[in-house]
Amino acid sequence: MIIAVDGPTASGKGTIAKALAAHFGLPHLDTGLLYRAVARQVLLNLGDPDSEADALAACAFPDSLLADPELRSEEVGGFASQVSVHPAVRQALYQRQRAFALQAGGAVLDGRDIGTVIAPEAEAKLFVIASVPARAERRFHEMQEAGRPVTLADIAADMELRDLRDATRSAAPLVQAEDAVVLDTSLLSPGEAIARAIAFVELKAGK
């Protein structure tokens, strides 16, 4: 079974996807991490994330970069949103994601275009959302725990900008697949959101 989990940043999609993978014994891929790695490589190359040529060159990042803790920073997250608008970058990473989705036994992938572009044939599709205030609060606490100097207002403003960029880009915009179920986590605890997601997938699997 292929499980697609899409949604904006800090909506809870990553936590939900990891829990689904553990529950159903499936491999998991955080596709957003690939774009963060491209963004990080652009920065390491002293390139411009708005340049498609620079971003495409950064797609040749080494696998070891995926373990770089800087990939989780707000700065890299913002640049990831910028490099992801380039069609050439999305095409360069498409096959890598597609191969993961089609492996024997199935997989869980989370991102922004899994159910619409990467694995439109996925048997279970979740579109995870949450209000900007709820998402900003979550990310703010994450950054505080990591010792990163950020403000709640700056995070909220950055999220609104990222949401707009992701939803309006020409290549694979962030949109809900027609057959996806919406899961609003604004007022849910992680445990409650995970329980609802598992119940939905089990229903789709006919269990």
Compute the distance between CA of residue 63 and CA of residue 53 in angstroms, rounded to an integer.
20
Give the pLDDT band of residue 207 (cuts 50, 70, 90). Answer: low
CATH of segment(s) 2-204: 3.40.50.300
Long-range contacts of 134-143 (CB under 8 A, 24+ apart): 134/185, 134/186, 134/187, 135/8, 135/9, 135/10, 135/11, 135/159, 136/10, 138/10, 138/12, 139/9, 139/10, 139/74, 143/74
For the segment 147-182, what is each residue's pLDDT rounded down to a tens digit? 888 899 999 999 999 899 888 888 788 899 999 999
Which residues are CB-neighbours of 102 under 8 A, at least 6 positions away? 2, 119
> Are 39 and 79 in contact, with CB atoms under 8 Å apart?
yes
For the segment 80-131, what is each residue's pLDDT rounded down to a tens digit? 989 988 999 999 999 889 999 999 999 999 999 999 999 999 999 999 999 9
For the segment 10-47, what is each residue's pLDDT rounded down to a tens digit? 999 999 999 999 999 999 999 999 999 999 999 999 99
Main-chain phi, psi angles of 124, to 5 degrees: -130, 125
Give the helix/strand (H/E) hosting 193.
helix 190-204
Residue 140 has pLDDT above 70, yes or no: yes
Compute the distance between CA of residue 69 and CA of residue 194 in angstroms, rounded to an integer.
25
Averaged confidence pLDDT in the chain: 93
pTM for this predicted structure: 0.86
Which residues does residue 126 pair with via DSSP β-bridges, in sequence order? 5, 181
* Domain spans, the chain: 2-204
